[in-house]
Amino acid sequence: MTSIAADRVAVQSRSRAAVGSIPWPLYAVVFASTCIVVGLIWDISWHRTVGRDTFWTLAHVLEQVAAVVAGLTCGWIVLHTTFAGAPEARARSVRFWRFFQGPLGAWVCIWGTLMMITSAPFDNWWHNAYGLDVKIISPPHMVLAWGMFAIQIGAMLMTLSAQNRAAEEDQRTYSIIYAFAAGILVTMIATVIMEEASIANEMHGSKFYMVTGWTIPLFLIGLSRASKLRWPATTITAIYMATSLAMIWILQLFEATPMLAPIYNPVTHMVPSPFPLLLIVPAFAVDLVMQRVGRGRDWRLAALIGLTWVLAMVAVHWFWAEFLLTPAARNWFFASDQWSYDARLGPWRYEFHNLDRDGAGKWSPLLFARGIGIAVVMSMVASRLSLYLGNGMSRVKR
């Protein structure tokens, strides 16, 4: 027993030492990337609740300040590496303009910061020229989204590089930080596709499974392949779900009223995003498949992942959607009956949309099955591309 206790103390001491040895820029960039996604979800809720939009809303300020923090932090890393970095730090850096040196992730974050800052005056000009919008997808929002995306990628690359260079006793700590950064990236991807694939009303149509079968595996599978954790996809999607649920529950606590006509649904509190997709279920299945097949057979693995992913998504979300449209889900926890202030409420809220219908307007099992087949093929292709990228990410040390 004494030997076991001593080993446990030694492990705890190494864990504390590993956490204490993590460089502060890594914490700063991951924290900034998290704030950006929080700001994005908050901003979408603001559009759905209040409508009026200026640069100085708190959500915008949070996004821009977080971008500046990430940019300045990475700028400091580049200057420190260039002028005062140790030889080994310079050896694992990426050179830019033939002189400046820094980690790959830092350069990506700097580019993302410039994109986000540029999007602010572009967004103001767009509103002045075309009026206030309440859409996620618009030209200035896409510039902002690409900047946000770059910072998420940069943060992930920085944590990935640290994981791949870490000593064995420190690797798990860095792997958890990497999984967190990957989870925040998946949260952003799921938020960006929210208008196409998020609400329960869409989950009985094959289009929902095409969108989620392409976009999520394209990122998640590669992120999982590069991780050192045993259950990487499950961990990453658990972080996505925890982040999304926290934002749903917190936003509903704040009172707010619409300030942009026309107002068809006079909401009184911030309107949250829909309940997060149950990605953790197909992610768990993907982890099992990846453990079973292993490395070296990526074509076969991609085919199995694509099939597993879509079938698991259908099995889970088909019945989950039916629950979300019942009165049991119309509460603060599931937030299934929360609609924007400009929504004309009606029976459509509790009906399924974009169904696979035949020429007579009836739901067609054959058309749905064909759509699911297309979704499987798309997911296979996305998984193979993602595995290829994940193999490269596994070797990132710069």
Which 3-state string (H, E, C) describes 201-235? HHCCCHHHHHHHHHHHHHHHHHHHHHCCCCCHHHH
Does residue 297 share a domain with residue 182? no
Any domain includes 204 = yes
The pLDDT of 118-132, averaged and rounded, is 69
Contact 226, 393 (CB under 8 A): yes
Residue 171 has what pLDDT? Answer: 80
Any domain includes 285 = yes
**Distance separating alpha carbons of residues 271 and 254, to the nearest angstrom:** 9
The pLDDT of 242-266, averaged and rounded, is 93
The pTM assigned to this predicted structure is 0.88
Q: Which of 85-89, 226-230, 274-278, 301-305 has the lowest mean pLDDT?
A: 85-89
Any domain includes 312 = yes
Any domain includes 243 = no
Residue 135 has what pLDDT? Answer: 56
Total domains, the chain = 2
Return the H-helix or E-strand segment holding 95.
strand 94-96
Residue 1 has what pLDDT? Answer: 44
The pLDDT tens digits for 309-342 are 999 999 999 999 999 999 999 999 999 999 999 9
Residue 13 has what pLDDT? Answer: 43
Last residue of some domain: 142, 173, 192? 192
Contact 157, 73 (CB under 8 A): no
Provide the pLDDT confidence category of residue 22 given band limits of 50, 70 and 90. low
Any domain includes 241 = no
Instruction: For helices 206-226 and 168-192, give the axis angle rounded to 10 degrees.
Output: 160
Distance of CA 150 to the CA centre of its chain: 12
What share of the chain has pLDDT > 70, as a percent? Answer: 90
The pLDDT of 152-180, averaged and rounded, is 86
Does residue 102 share a domain with residue 204? no
Contact 226, 390 (CB under 8 A): yes
Q: Which of 7-11, 122-126, 213-217, 347-351 has the lowest mean pLDDT?
A: 7-11
Average per-residue pLDDT for the chain = 86
Does residue 200 share a domain with residue 188? no
Does residue 183 share a domain with residue 221? no
Higher pLDDT, 315 or 128: 315
Any domain includes 161 = yes
**287: pLDDT strictly greater than 90:** yes
Residue 16 has what pLDDT? Answer: 40
Any domain includes 182 = yes
**Distance separating alpha carbons of residues 64 and 46, to the nearest angstrom:** 16
**14: pLDDT strictly greater than 50:** no
Distance of CA 339 to the CA centre of its chain: 22
Does residue 323 share a domain with residue 208? yes
Does residue 213 share a domain with residue 154? no
Provide the pLDDT confidence category of residue 136 given band limits of 50, 70 and 90. low
According to DSSP, residue 255 is labeled B
Mean pLDDT: which of 24-28, 86-90, 117-121 is highest? 24-28
**Distance separating alpha carbons of residues 337 and 45, to the nearest angstrom:** 14
Contact 260, 204 (CB under 8 A): no
Does residue 101 share a domain with residue 68? yes
Q: Please enumerate in sequence order all residues whose Cβ is within 8 A of that of 171, keeping only pairs 6 or more positions apart, or say none.
A: 163, 228
Does residue 164 share a domain with residue 44? yes
Any domain includes 249 = no
Residue 70 has what pLDDT? Answer: 92
For residue 201, give its domain range: 196-228+260-398
**Distance separating alpha carbons of residues 291 and 287, to the nearest angstrom:** 6
